[in-house]
């Protein structure tokens, strides 16, 4: 039972709870439907992906880094929660930001920081700047100690986080849309060394201030939503449909309106 739960990325405690029971009740036709949806999503992508790239599967909350066609790194990430979903986009990572500041979006200012005391703002190194709440750099910053800038108009990026314990959760759709990377400093160091900018990156980090280090070669990044895929062990792997996005695709393919298994977070977290 624990192996079964692990395969579906739910808590592998051996107990048949609500989540496990819902998966056990999945019919063979449901699997066929999920596979058809996954194959349709593959058709939306370029036939040959870049040999060097970063793929983030938001359904599995997992990052895979390929270099020259080989998988060289894989790690847990935290992605957008239902209602604040991480979008499906193809973009590129073009620089590292050391000791980033965080300009809090207006929606978070209104919805989650309204009414917070002055002591809360001091404790979290936050101040008002031209009508915006800005959190200064440091280990308590919601972006952590490194940000990975992506080319896009949606203000989506990868970053570090002080909330390390969330990476241990099985369901990691918990953020406001951006992608938090496990051991982000280690990942940044690896990329900096491969790009030949390790010395620049070390100086930027040591400055204690916000600093930008551009990549000589941008790295393609794909933010994907894959609830069925083939693992590195060549096994068909199923995940839940945390955003409920499979429903519309399945209907367009002529399947019924049965909703997939979704996830609702009970974690209160104000980070991006």
Domains of the chain and any CATH numbers: 2-101+136-252 (2.40.440.10)
- Please answer whether residues 158 and 150 qualify as being in contact, where contact means their C-beta atoms are separated by less than 8 angstroms: yes
Cβ-contact 101, 136 below 8 angstroms: yes
159 is catalytic: yes
6 part of the active site: no
Comparing 123-137, 176-190, 201-215, the range with the smallest average pLDDT is: 123-137
pLDDT the model gives residue 258: 64
Question: Is 104 in a helix, a strand, or coil?
Answer: coil
6, 31, 159, 170: which is the annotated catalytic residue?
159
What is the C-alpha separation between 201 and 267, in angstroms, rounded? 33
Query: What is the pLDDT at residue 268?
Result: 54
pLDDT recorded at residue 20 = 77
Alpha helices in the chain (DSSP H): 2-7, 18-24, 28-43, 106-108, 118-123, 184-195, 198-206, 246-252
pLDDT tens digits, one per residue of 69-103 = 999 999 999 999 999 999 999 999 999 999 999 99
pLDDT score of 11: 73
Given 6, 31, 176, 178, the catalytic residue: 178
| Cα–Cα distance measured from residue 24 to residue 16, given in angstroms and rounded to the nearest whole number | 9
């Amino acid at each position: 039972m624990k192996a079964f739960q692990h395969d579906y990325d739910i808590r592998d405690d051996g107990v048949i709870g609500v989540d496990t029971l819902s998966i056990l009740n999945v019919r063979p036709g449901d699997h066929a439907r999920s596979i058809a949806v996954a194959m349709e999503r593959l058709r939306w992508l370029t036939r040959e992906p870049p040999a060097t790239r970063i793929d983030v599967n938001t359904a599995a909350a997992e990052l895979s880094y390929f270099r020259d066609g080989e998988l060289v790194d894989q790690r847990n990430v935290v992605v957008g929660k239902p209602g604040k979903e991480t979008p499906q986009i193809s973009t590129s990572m073009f620089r590292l930001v050391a000791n980033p500041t965080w300009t809090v979006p207006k929606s978070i200012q209104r919805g989650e920081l309204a009414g917070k005391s002055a002591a809360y703002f001091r404790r979290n190194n936050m101040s008002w700047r031209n009508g915006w709440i800005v959190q200064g750099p440091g280990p308590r910053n919601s972006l952590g100690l490194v940000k990975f800038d992506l080319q896009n108009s949606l203000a989506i990026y990868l970053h570090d986080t002080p909330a390390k314990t969330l990476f241990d959760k099985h369901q990691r759709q918990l953020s406001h849309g951006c992608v938090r990377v496990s051991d982000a400093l280690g990942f940044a160091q690896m990329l900096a060394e491969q790009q030949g900018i390790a010395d620049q990156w070390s100086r930027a980090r040591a400055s204690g201030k916000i600093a930008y280090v551009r990549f000589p070669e941008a790295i393609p990044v794909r933010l994907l939503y894959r609830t069925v895929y083939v693992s590195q062990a060549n096994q068909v792997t199923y995940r839940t449909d945390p955003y409920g996005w499979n429903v519309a695709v399945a209907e367009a393919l002529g399947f019924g309106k049965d909703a997939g298994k979704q996830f609702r977070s009970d974690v209160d977290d104000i980070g991006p």
